[in-house]
Structure 1
């Protein structure tokens, strides 16, 4: 038993060192902007850059709209499949995995080809229309994570019994989804939402090719022209991502402990 614990802790320590040491080295390099001493000058420059504030704010807003769109599409779909059409669940799971296989550059070139200057919908050729396309593209990229998070949450509740009880009391479908199903899978939805947020903050390909002022292209531009600021931005991005992961772990502690029900 003691030997097993030793090797388990040794493996954990090696894995943690593999991730933490490069991050510490990046932080140390970012703090050497002032010659001969350590300082947070690189971080001050980054936070004081108007482009950082603009691009980060833009990506945060895009992430919020992406999360709302994902919840609007995924929650009713996953609920209806589990309630009435469980036989097509393997097909839906396969479709939701396609964004992991199809590169983002293929998706965005399809957007440009279909909704470019010759688009039959003039709105899509405007700045707001391009923002809408970007949000839709982000929702597609986050679909595998959002769908599986919601589907896992639905496994912890008896969807059929809750639905029948709500219908007996006279509730409609909109009421069932918004006031019964969504509160019961809220932890799972929040987990998918934070994963979506992390994806949107660091995404580069779609925002760059659609020429939107997002945070991903800003990271690439700074990395090509500066020395210490990219290291500071990398640390900031890691902090945001790890913060999202930590929030997911904390929220998971409050998730219901009921056992999964077989389909």
Structure 2
């Protein structure tokens, strides 16, 4: 047993080194902007850059709208599938998996072709319309993650019993969703929201081809023209992504355990 444990720890250490050593090297390089000393100059330059502030704020706002739109679409859909349309479950799961199969570049070219200025819905004809199109694209890209997070949350509660009890008390469908179902799956919804946030903040292809001032294209632009600032931005992006993942783990740890009574 001790030999197996040592071997397991060796494999774990090898895997950890594979991921951590490049990260440590990147962080160490980002501190060398001033020759002969370790400083935070690269980070100060990045945070003082107006383009960083503008692109980060823009992606943050788009991420919030994407999360809200995703919740408004996916929570009712997953609820109805689980409550009334169980036979459609395989179809819905297949549809929500399509964004993992279809490359984003195909998705965005389809959007541009369908919603250009010569179409009936010329979203690309204005900045506001293009922002809406970008939000819709991000909702599509986040479907596999948001839907499965919400569906997992719905599995932990007795949807039929809660719906029947609320209906017997005179609650409408909107009230049931907003005041009964959503509070019981809030942790799952927030987990999907943090995954969506991480996707939006680092996405490049869709934002670049739609010519929007997002954080992803800014990362690529700085990476092509600077030396130390890209390393600092890589560390910042890593912190944002893993911060979102850490919040998911924290929510899962402190999530209340739901017990379904049958008596």
TM-score bracket, shorter-length normalisation: over 0.9
Which moved further from structure 2: 13-22 or 192-201? Answer: 13-22
Gapped runs of 5+ residues in structure 2?
A: none
TM-aligned CA deviation for residue 254 of structure 1: 2.0
Matched, 1:143 2:177: no
User: Quick one: distance in 1 between partners of 2:61 and 2:17?
Assistant: 34
User: Quick one: distance in 2 between partners of 1:173 and 1:9?
Assistant: 52
The secondary structure found in structure 2 opposite 1:71 is helix
TM-aligned CA deviation for residue 8 of structure 1: 2.3
Name the residue aligned to 2:112: 112
User: Quick one: distance in 1 between partners of 2:10 and 2:259?
Assistant: 32
What does the per-residue CA deviation read over 1:101-146, in whole Å, with 9 as the maximum and x for residues that have no partner?
0000111101110111112134552110000000000010010000
The alignment covers a number of residue pairs equal to: 260
TM norm structure 1: 0.96
User: Quick one: distance in 2 between partners of 1:35 and 1:208?
Assistant: 34
The secondary structure found in structure 1 opposite 2:92 is helix
The answer as to whether partners of 2:67 and 2:196 remain within 8 angstroms in 1 is yes
Matched, 1:169 2:169: yes
User: Quick one: distance in 1 between partners of 2:112 and 2:228?
Assistant: 35
TM norm structure 2: 0.96
User: Quick one: distance in 1 between partners of 2:253 and 2:5?
Assistant: 25
Pairing of 1:154-233 with structure 2 (within 5 A): 154-233=154-233
What does the per-residue CA deviation read over 1:161-207, in whole Å, with 9 as the maximum and x for residues that have no partner?
00000000000000000000000000000000000000000100110
TM-aligned CA deviation for residue 7 of structure 1: 2.3
The RMSD of aligned alpha carbons is 1.3
User: Quick one: distance in 2 between partners of 1:259 and 1:249?
Assistant: 21
